Amino acid sequence: MLKVSSGSNPGATAGAIANGIRERGETQMQVIGPRAVNQAVKAIAIARGYLAASGVDLYFTPSFSSVLIEGQEKTAIHFTVRTRHPMIGSTVEPF
């Protein structure tokens, strides 16, 4: 699970997304707040570019989750990033 904040570097996050896709076929991200959502979406767009050269296309599905931070319950957005088509040599099926 990648935790993306408003201060996260989109390029570095994109690299982590791409590595997760290559290794597991999907990546999970958790964000809290509008600026963190902005950074996460930018990272997904950059990761699409990183993986496009390999013929891999990405999509993401957003959902809500509750997290406990310093004793307070907060609503987080959970992004599941997956490949649109199966990757060559992957045992993970696309959804």
Q: Residue 39: what pLDDT?
A: 98
Q: Residue 95: what pLDDT?
A: 47
- Domain housing 59: 2-83
Give how many domains the chain has, as a whole number: 1
pLDDT tens, position by position, 28-65: 999 999 999 999 999 999 999 999 988 999 999 999 99
CATH assignment of the domain containing 29 = 3.30.110.20
Decide if 93 is inside a domain: no
Strands 58-69 and 72-83: antiparallel
Q: Which whole-number Å values give the CA distances from 26 to 44, 50, 56, 82, in the listed order?
A: 12, 15, 12, 5
Decide if 95 is inside a domain: no
What are the φ and ψ backbone dihedral angles of 36, each rounded to 5 degrees?
-70, -40
Confidence (pTM): 0.86
| Mean of pLDDT values over 82-91 | 70
Q: Are 92 and 25 in contact (CB under 8 A)?
A: yes
